[in-house]
Amino acid sequence: MEYQEAFLRTPLGITAIKGHAHGLVSISVLNTSAVEPTAAIPDDLRPAVEQLREYFAGKRSAFDLPLDFKGTDFQRRVWLALLDIPFGKTCSYLELAKKLGDVKAIRAVAAANGQNPFWIVVPCHRVIGSDGSLIGYAGGLWRKKWLLEHESPYKQQALFP
């Protein structure tokens, strides 16, 4: 099956979206600005581009996209559990491991979380340390902080200009 790809400029960098007629296979943020945004978005990727634009504009809190998960059964269980974390909320890696039925699987849960192929859409950024700290984010902790602040129901004015 042939994949289509599109690149979208976001406040957090260039986002690469890859998919086909049956669903998306990945959404990731690139650590380069050398890639130009795609001018002509392929039809199969248009809904993802539109929904990501709405998310970053503050007009979307949930995604409705066909996702073609590729991973182990355990990884897919973790990724599906991430979809249950509400917009504007967080949970810890320990809470996620408990939800999946094995408190001892915390490291495996963290590893699967780090392999999430659907940046933002499957909200791995909503998983934090048990002490509330921002830990373990493949896209960089500054992006995780930005995403959590973007989704927070409690908006605060900057204390300093």
What does the CA dihedral 86, 60, 12, 44 come to, rounded to 10 degrees?
Answer: 110
Q: Is 70 left (phi over 0), alpha (psi -120 to 50) or beta?
A: beta
Q: CA angle 133-137-138, nearest 5°?
A: 165
* Cα dihedral 36, 37, 40, 41 sign: positive
* Catalytic-role residue among 121, 124, 127, 128: 124
In whole angstroms, what is the distance from residue 124 CA to residue 157 CA?
26
How far is CA 151 from its chain centroid? 12
Determine whether 91 is an active site residue.
Answer: no
The residues that are catalytic are 124
